[in-house]
Amino acid sequence: MSPGTYAVRLGLERGWREFRQSLGSSDQWYTVFITVAYLTVLWFQRDSKVDGTTLSLAALTLPSMIGMSVAFGGVVGPASQLSVNREDGTLLRAKAVPNGMVGYLVGRVVQTSLDTFFSLLVVFIPGLLLVQGFAQAGVSGFLYVIVVLVAGLLATLPWGAVIGSVTKSPGGAMGFTMLPMMGIIAISGIFYPISAIPGWLQVVAQAFPVYWLGLGTRSALLPDSAVAAEIGGSWRTLEMFGVLGVWAVVGFLVAPTILRRMARRESGSDMEQRRQAALQRGVG
């Protein structure tokens, strides 16, 4: 087995192990809180109808939430993990081992992907019991959802890694991801039809993966009549995969360069400075 292959194998095992450990951590309280919040939104939307369709607003929102959650997890997850691992020395230790960065990055991708899909299931399964209108999707519809979500992860994960590489602290990483993502989500037609917002905001929303992930999941799970609530009355499948593909290709071209540059600059003195800054934040 080549050193590179062995590093990938170790990364896969590490990602799986850290995912299992995270299931028993206090972080799952956040998953519970978000799940309750999402289900509460669906509960209040269940009796509201979408103009031009027979669907409830909740039926439109649930698949949109799934797409949104993938985009959110793909950006925020790696950014926060990378910044934390730079501060606690994990990244420096990985750099010191032959092919250690390869194994580290594979582990991050595996853990983030598993964390994201687990949180989706926690929301989606009770959501199906609460919201009607997905029976017609069938097996092909749910398989298509998986394809869309994988494309969404490929489009967002490298950008999360880039943000985690250029920010100097976990707080900075959260600031560069959480606030912009919340703004993008607000204009992307996740909790209401995008046709309800001004045209110029619709144009801005279509530049980012969040809108297209929501559109893709809606096209997979909702009946054809639901397309009346979409821009141009079309699911725009080619455009959806095209935009996600561009974000993925550019991300995977940019991210390795940024990550290598960040890894070369990592040193014990830098890590100690970040550790001291973290301790001061804790005391303050």
For position 284, what pLDDT does the model report? 47
For position 266, what pLDDT does the model report? 63
User: Mean pLDDT of successive 10-residue segments in the chain (284 residues)?
Assistant: 79 88 76 87 86 82 92 90 80 76 85 89 87 79 93 94 84 84 92 87 95 94 87 93 97 87 68 58 49
Q: Helices 209-221 and 170-186, interaxial angle, to 10°?
A: 50
Report d(CA 65, CA 163) in Å as an integer.
23
For position 280, what pLDDT does the model report? 58
Name the residue ranges covered by the structural domains of the chain: 3-277
Report d(CA 144, CA 222) in Å as an integer.
12
Number of Cβ within 10 Å of residue 221's Cβ equals 25
For position 68, what pLDDT does the model report? 92
Residue of 251, 101, 271, 253 whose CA lies nearest to 163: 251
For position 283, what pLDDT does the model report? 44
Q: Who contacts 266 (Cβ-Cβ below 8 Å, separation ≥6)?
A: 86, 91, 92, 95
For position 275, what pLDDT does the model report? 59
